[in-house]
Amino acid sequence: MSRSNSVISKDADICDPETQPLLAGNAKFRSLGWKRLTIIAIVEAIALGSLGLPSAFAALGMVTGIILTVGIGLLAMYAGYIIGQVKLMYPEVAHYADVGSLIMGRWGSRIFIGSFVALLVFVIGSHALTGAIAFKTITQSDSCSVIFSILSAVILMLLAIPPSFAEIAILGYIDFASIVLAIGVTMIATGIQSDGSSDWSAWPKPDISFTSAIVATNNIVFAYSFAGCLPSFMDDMHTPEDYTKAMWWLGGVQIFIYTVTGSIIYAFVGQSVQSPALLSAGPLLSRIVFGLALPVIFISGSINLTVASRYIHGKMYQKSIARFINTPEGWVTWLGLVFFITVIAWIIAEAIPIFSALLSIMSSLFVSGLAFYFPPVMWYMLLREGAWYEKHNLKAAICNGVVFVVGMVIFVCGTYASIADLVHEFQSGSVGKPFTCSA
């Protein structure tokens, strides 16, 4: 199977000095196995999304929250499987955005590139925002919150300097342990503090508005936003066909952790649960838990930063050895690109300083397409063999139809609800103005 970014001809002299950097570059960026892919995918996926789930359960109720968490997770797993199949059939697809040109030509490429890069930048911004909240909580400082957000952005930038996903995978083990510990301690802390009189409910709030319900649902949707990075990870695999093993592990672990996290913390804290959930552990324990969560906040964010930078850098040097980032020119442009994207993400974090609102906006505008309604289009146009109603296609057609409808509902209803909720938050004065020193 040919590789899209391999420029080594079959008859190339492996002893040629000009060929050596190409061989080194291919070796560096083709060393990812499915086990490391699983770690990277889990680290990239199970991060900020899990922190918004208990508050979503508080709005939707225990029953609806669990049903949506499991159901949306299964749909996201299926959509991820479709994306992986497209990558295998079209090995020239190095990143998710490359699929656009296969479906709709130049305009499709622009739409996919815009959605893909914008989602990653927004996610990086959400990590910068969470990092600022963490530092503010840990230090209990009266310092300007902008200082903490700048510090968060700098850490994200430094961790994204290694360009290879195989190198980042080593940090992934620390990251995974971090989120498990942070969530576990939060559960234990809220359980100990609970006096058995929690006001949790199996059903949605009696006075819940359409906007609040959709924003809560979007927080669950965002937790399954891993699909956009899958082709980028697969492009670093030495055996891309093994991605299905990582996919099933990722989906199962996500659904389990999300369901347990959302339900247990909500059951202990009740309607007063905060977003991100780590704030619900109490003043002292929140400081400890945020300290434990610092690795997942920054390592997961840096992975998204690396994906975005790798895509843009690869396009800049598509036919040049500089794309391997093993030449002076490659390193200079790589560092400049990482810095530029970090600055844009920081601006977004400061412009929308509300955790749940930022997650909801990302879910509506970008995750709805990348993780839900785009994959069914890929199946219909790129993978389908014969008419959709033929017997061998019928099951897949139904599954993809359901995923597509869910994605469009998230996009249309979610965008309206997210904007309405954000406007209400600012008008009510419940959050400080952007780019200020408010907490």
3-class DSSP state of 30: coil
pLDDT attached to residue 186: 86
H helix intervals, 270-373: 283-316, 328-351, 355-362
Compute how many other C-beta atoms are within 10 angstroms of the C-beta atom of residue 258.
26
Per-domain boundaries in the chain: 36-428
- The fold of 36-428 is Amino acid/polyamine transporter I (1.20.1740)
Q: What rounded mean pLDDT belongs to the chain?
A: 83
Ordered DSSP codes for 76-116: HHHHHHHHHHHHHH-TT--SGGGHHHHHHHHHHHHHHHHHH
pLDDT of 26 > 70? The answer is no
Q: Which of 11-15, 293-297, 313-317 has the lowest mean pLDDT?
A: 11-15
Give the pLDDT confidence of 333-369 residue by residue, as tens digits.
999 999 999 999 999 888 877 766 777 888 888 889 9
Compute how many other C-beta atoms are within 10 angstroms of the C-beta atom of residue 391.
7
pLDDT of 24 > 70? The answer is no
Compute how many other C-beta atoms are within 10 angstroms of the C-beta atom of residue 395.
9
Instruction: Give residue 57's identity as a one-letter amino acid code.
Output: F
Give me the mean pLDDT over the 226-247 stretch. Answer: 85
439 or 67: which leads in pLDDT: 67
Specify the pTM. 0.80
pLDDT attached to residue 35: 82
Structure tokens at 229: 């990075």
Instruction: Give residue 88's identity as a one-letter amino acid code.
Output: L
Bridge partners, residue 237, by sequence:
32
pLDDT of 8 > 70? The answer is no
Give the pLDDT confidence of 179-220 residue by residue, as tens digits.
888 888 888 888 888 777 788 999 998 888 888 899 889 889
Closest CA to 252 of 40, 35, 33, 42: 42
pLDDT confidence bin for 9, thresholds 50/70/90: very low
430 or 300: which leads in pLDDT: 300
Cis peptide before 276 (omega within 30 of 0): yes
The DSSP symbol for 5 reads: T
Give me the mean pLDDT over the 31-60 stretch. Answer: 78
3-class DSSP state of 32: strand
Contacts of 383 (CB under 8 A, 6+ apart): 82, 85, 86, 89
3-class DSSP state of 237: strand
